[in-house]
Amino acid sequence: MSATSHRPSVTRRFLLAARPVGLPKESDFKLVEAPLPAPEAGQVLVKTVYLSVDPYMRGRITGVRTYADPVHVGDLMVGGTVGQVIESRDPSLQPGDYVAGYWGWQDHAVAPAAGLQKLNPQLAPVSTALGVLGMPGMTAYFGFLEICHPKAGETVVVSGAAGAVGSLVGQIAKIQDCRVIGIAGGDDKIKYIVSDLGFDGAFNYKTTSDYVASLKELCPKGIDCYFDNVGGAISDSVFALLNPFARVSVCGQISQYNLEAPELGPRLLAQILVRQLKVEGFIVTRFLERWQQGVAQMAQWMKEGRIKYHEDIVEGFEKTPRAFIDMLEGKNTGKMLVKA
Amino acid sequence: MSATSHRPSVTRRFLLAARPVGLPKESDFKLVEAPLPAPEAGQVLVKTVYLSVDPYMRGRITGVRTYADPVHVGDLMVGGTVGQVIESRDPSLQPGDYVAGYWGWQDHAVAPAAGLQKLNPQLAPVSTALGVLGMPGMTAYFGFLEICHPKAGETVVVSGAAGAVGSLVGQIAKIQDCRVIGIAGGDDKIKYIVSDLGFDGAFNYKTTSDYVASLKELCPKGIDCYFDNVGGAISDSVFALLNPFARVSVCGQISQYNLEAPELGPRLLAQILVRQLKVEGFIVTRFLERWQQGVAQMAQWMKEGRIKYHEDIVEGFEKTPRAFIDMLEGKNTGKMLVKA
C-alpha cells in the first residue's frame, strides 16, 4: 500500500449539536476531530473533495422519523460526498481514484469500497456525481417523468425552478416539448432559467404580489403538470390553475421546513376531487433499480447540449453549515456544493 | 298508442329558487307546474317512480362551474331518476316498461328514448338503478378498485362509511380480503356497517373526541388505502396514519360543501411527500366506457350475498328538497331515495 506514511491521524467532522428551531444556525453544528483508523480489508481511506448540501437534510435533523432515521444530536451529519482515494485495501479501487459516496460532513473517511461509486473524471467533472448525474439529477429525471407523465404541448410549472432539481426538471420538460414556466426567488434566477436554460417564462415570487395573476398570464391554457419543490402559498396558487386530470409531483416543501409551527393553508382535497387531480409524493430512492438508466440519459442530453447545469461552490470544509443554511434560504442558483 | 287519454297535461317540477348559502333550505327550491307536451317521434313520456338525491348535487347549485355546468336559478334541478313509461313513440320502449334516466326533479317527463336505460324488474328492484347498480355503485366499484388498488391484507379506511357509496366500498374491500374500518356519524350507522355489512371496525365521529387515537386502535398496522367521502378534520386524522405508499381516492368532501367560507386546514403536501402518498380525485363519468362491466360484477356479488345494500326511502315527490337536505346532513343510512 502506498502513502500510508501520509495518512492523516484524524478527521474533522461536523456533528449535529442541537435540533434547529426554525432556520438552522451555524451553532446547531459542532466541528470536532475524531481519530481516523487505518482501513481494514475491503475498506478505503478517502479525502473529501466535494460535499453536497441539500434541502432533504433539514428533515433529517428535526428528530422526527420520516422516510429515514433522524440524525440525533451528537451524530455525524449525513450527506452525499465525492472524494479521492488515499489508501485502499480493496482491489476495486486505487489511490488517486475518485469516488462518490455518502460519508457525511467530514473531511476524511474510512469507508467500505462496496458502498462507493468509482467516477471517471474524463467523462464528466466529478462534482456532477452530486448534482446533474447524482441524486438531484435522478430526482428531476424520474420524479418528473414517472410521476407527471408529461405530454408534448402541455404546460409544466416548476417551483424552486433555479435550484439543483428544478433547473433540471424545466430542461427535461423542454426536451418533452412542453411549455415550461418557472417560479424562483430572485431576478438573477429568473434571468438564468429563461435566458440560459430556455424556460418559456418565469416570475420572481419575492417581487410578485399576485402569484395567480402572474401564472394566468404565463399559462393561458392552464397547468397540466406541477413539479413542486417548495409548497406553501406558491403551491396554493398553482393548484388554483391546474387543469382537469393534471398531475402533481411533490418533490420538496422547502417553504415549510423551517417553520416553528405547522402552517395552515387552504384545503386542497376539494380541488383534487373536482378537477380529478393526481398528487403524488416521492423519495428518489424508489427509483434505485433504474438509476443507471437515468444517469445514462442525462449524460447523453448533457453531451447533446440539451441539459445545462450550474454549480454554486463554497470553498472550505469549515463553511459547510453556512452553505447548508444559505441553500435553505435560497441563496444558491443551481447545485450548492462545498469544496473541502 | 295506448293510454294517451290518461296523459297528464302538466308535470310538477322543482326549480332552483336561490343559490343556497351554507346548508340548503327548502325555500331554495320552488315547486312549479309546467305543461307536459306529447312525446314526439323517438321520445317517451315517463312517470317518475324514484328520484335520487346525492351529495354531488350540492356542487351543482353553487353557481361555480366544476366538472359540469352549474344549475342556474330558475332551472330544473338535475338528478338521476327511475320511472315507468306511460306513452312511447320509440319502438325500443313500451308502456309499462321501467327506465332509468336523468330527467331531474319532476314527476313526469318527456325524454328521448335513446337516453334511457331499460330496466328488468325481475333481475333487481328498479330502485337499485339509482344505487348499488347505478352511479353510487359504480363510484364505489371503480373509484375504489381503480384508484386505491387494494391488496389482500391491507388496511382500508372509508369515511362516510354508512352512505350510499361508502357502505359499498367497505364491502368491496372485504371481498378483496382487506381489513376495513369505517367512519360514520351515528351509533346506528356504526352498528349497521359492522354487524350487517361486515366492516372490521368503525367509530362514530360525532361521539369521538380524538379521531387519531380511535384510528390508531382500529388500524394497528397503519392505513394503506383511504376512500374519502367527507374531507375536513376526519381526513386530516386519516392522513396522519397513512403508511408509506398509501393511496387516497378522493370521492367526496361533504364536510366542506355547506361551508359559507372555505375552511383552512393542515397542509397535506409535506405528508404526501415524505410518505410517498398518491392522492387522486375522480368523477365517476371517467369510467363510463366500462360501466357495464362494473354493473355485472356488482350484480354478481349481490347474487352471491357478498354485497348488501340499504335504501332510505322518503315517500312523496314534494319531499324531494327535504330529502336532499337530510342527506346532506347525514340523516340517511345507505342510499337516500324519494318515491314519487
Tell me the shortest Cα–Cα distance from A245 to chain B, in angstroms: 9
Hey, which residues 286-305 in chain B have their CB within 8 Å of chain A? 286
Q: Which of B239, B273, B288 to mutate: most A Cβ within 10 Å?
A: B273
Q: If you average pLDDT over residues B300-309, what whole number do you get?
A: 97
pLDDT at B64: 75
A114–chain B nearest CA distance, Å: 28
Point out the residue among A232, A253, A272 whose CB comes nearest to the CB of B250. A272
Out of B263, B281, B283, closest to residue A267 by CB: B263
Determine, for residues B264 and A264 on separate chains, whether the beta-carbon distance falls below 8 Å. Answer: yes
Say yes or no: B275 contacts chain A, CB-CB below 8 A: yes
Residues A281 and A326 in one domain: no
Which range is least confidently modeled, A254-263, A265-274, B191-200, B291-300? A254-263
CA dist B128 and B143 (Å) reads 18
CB contact under 8 A, B278 and A279: yes
- The alpha carbon of residue A220 is apart from the nearest alpha carbon of chain B, in Å, by 18
Measured between alpha carbons, how far is residue A23 from residues A88, A312, B267 in Å?
A: 39, 20, 19
Q: What is the DSSP string of A161-187?
A: TTBTTHHHHHHHHHHTT-EEEEEESSH
Chain B positions in Cβ-Cβ contact with residue A255 (cut-off 8 Å): none
Best of A149, A273, A276, A280 to substitute, by most chain B Cβ atoms within 10 angstroms, is A273
Element (H, E) at B295: helix B291-303
Question: For residue range B231-254, what is the model confidence (pLDDT) as tens digits?
Answer: 999 999 999 999 999 999 999 999
Shortest CA distance from A266: residue in chain B: B264
CATH number where B8 lies? 3.90.180.10
| Inter-chain touch B283–A274, beta carbons under 8 Å | yes
What CA–CA distance (Å, rounded) separates A226 from A216? 14
Q: Residue B191: is its pLDDT beyond 70? A: yes
User: Which residues of A are less than 8 Å from B68 in CB distance?
Assistant: none
| One domain for residues B166 and B276 | yes
Nearest to A281 among B231, B274, B281 (CB): B274
How far lies A261's CA from each of A61, A231, A233, B202, in Å?
16, 15, 16, 32
Is B157 domain-assigned? Answer: yes
Determine contact: A28 vs chain B, CB below 8 A.
no
- Which of A264, A267, A277 is nearest residue B281 as measured by Cβ atoms? A277
Question: pLDDT (tens digit, 0 to 9) for every residue of chain A, 340 residues total?
Answer: 444 447 899 999 999 999 999 999 999 999 999 999 999 999 999 999 999 999 999 999 987 776 678 999 999 999 999 999 999 999 999 999 999 999 999 999 999 999 999 999 998 999 999 999 999 999 999 999 999 999 999 999 999 999 999 999 999 999 999 999 999 999 999 999 999 999 999 999 999 999 999 999 999 999 999 999 999 999 999 999 999 999 999 999 999 999 988 899 999 999 999 999 999 999 999 999 999 999 999 999 999 999 999 999 999 999 999 999 999 999 999 999 999 9
A280/A321 same-domain check: no
Within this chain, do residues B150 and B262 fall inside the same structural domain, yes or no?
yes
Kindly state whether B64 is in contact with chain A, defined as any CB-CB distance less than 8 angstroms: no
ipTM: 0.94
> Which of A253, A275, A286 has the CB atom closest to B269's CB atom?
A253
Residue A330: which of A85, A155, A166 has the closest Cα? A166
pLDDT at site A64: 75
Decide if A96 is inside a domain: yes
A280 shares contact with chain B (CB less than 8 Å): yes
A122 and A219 co-located in one domain: no
Residues 6+ apart with CB under 8 A from A6: A86
Could you tell me if residue B303 is inside a domain? no
Closest to A281 (Cβ–Cβ): which among B231, B250, B276?
A: B276
Pair (B126, B227) in one structural domain: no
CATH code of A238's domain: 3.40.50.720
Closest Cβ opposite residue B265 in set A228, A267, A274: A267
Tell me the sheet residues that pair with A268.
none
**Between residues A258 and B147, the one the model is more confident about:** B147
CA distance A271 to chain B (A): 8
Q: What is the distance between the alpha carbons of residues B155 and B178, in angstroms, rounded to a whole number?
A: 6
Single out the residue in B244, B268, B285 at which a domain terminates: B285
| CB-closest option in A265, A276, A283 to B264 | A265
Judge whether B301 lies within some domain.
no
Contacts of B273 in chain A (CB under 8 A): 250-253, 281-283
* Residue B291 is assigned to a structural domain of this protein: no
| The residue to which cell 312549479 is assigned | B32
CA distance A39 to chain B (A): 36
> Is the Cβ pair B280, A277 closer than 8 Å?
yes
A277 reaches B (C-beta below 8 A): yes
* B154 in contact with chain A, both atoms CB, cutoff 8 A: no
Best interface-test mutation with A: which of B58, B249, B269 has the largest number of A CBs within 10 A?
B269
B267 shares contact with chain A (CB less than 8 Å)? yes
Q: What is the pLDDT of residue B260?
A: 86
> A273 and B282: CB-CB below 8 Å?
yes
Indicate whether B304 belongs to any domain.
no
- DSSP, collapsed to helix, strand or coil, labels residue A217 as helix
- The answer to whether B262 contacts A264, with C-beta atoms less than 8 Å apart, is no
B48-91 pLDDT, tens digit each: 999 999 999 999 998 777 667 899 999 999 999 999 999 999 99
Of B231, B273, B286, Cβ closest to residue A269: B231
Looking at the structure, tell me whether residues B150 and B243 fall in a common domain. yes
Same domain, residue pair B190 and B274: yes
What is the percentage of chain B residues whose pLDDT exceeds 90? 93
**Alpha-carbon span A176 to A155, nearest angstrom:** 11
As given in the structure block, the three cell numbers for residue A132 are 446533474
Domain co-membership, B14 together with B120: yes
* A122 and A52 both lie in a single domain: yes
Residues B199, B236 within the same domain: yes
Give dist(CA A40, CA A90) in Å, integer: 9
Contact between B244 and A67 using a beta-carbon 8 Å cutoff: yes
- Chain B residues within 8 A of A279 when measuring between CB atoms: 269, 272, 278-280
Closest CA of chain B from A340, distance in Å: 30
Other Cβ atoms within 10 Å of A288 Cβ, number: 10
Structural domain harbouring B183: 135-285
Is A295 part of any domain?
no
This prediction's pTM: 0.95
Kindly determine whether residue A276 and residue B269, on different chains, have CB atoms separated by under 8 Å.
no
Looking at A285, A302, A328, the residue that finishes a domain is: A285
Residue B37 C-alpha, separation from nearest chain A C-alpha, in angstroms: 36
Q: Which residues of B touch A263 (CB under 8 A)?
A: 267
A261 interfacial to chain B (CB closer than 8 Å): no
The answer to whether residues A154 and A220 belong to one domain is yes
Residue A267, pLDDT score: 95
Percentage of chain B exceeding pLDDT 70: 98
Cβ A279–B280 below 8 Å, yes or no? yes
> With contact defined as beta carbons under 8 Å apart, do A294 and B297 qualify?
no
Confidence of residue B7 (pLDDT cuts 50, 70, 90): confident
Residues in B closer than 8 angstroms to A253, CB to CB, are 267, 269-270, 273
Residue B87 falls within a domain, yes or no?
A: yes
The total number of structural domains in chain A stands at 2
Hey, what long-range contacts does A115-124 have (CB within 8 A, 24 or more apart)? A116/A44, A116/A46, A118/A92, A118/A93, A119/A82, A123/A299, A124/A299, A124/A302
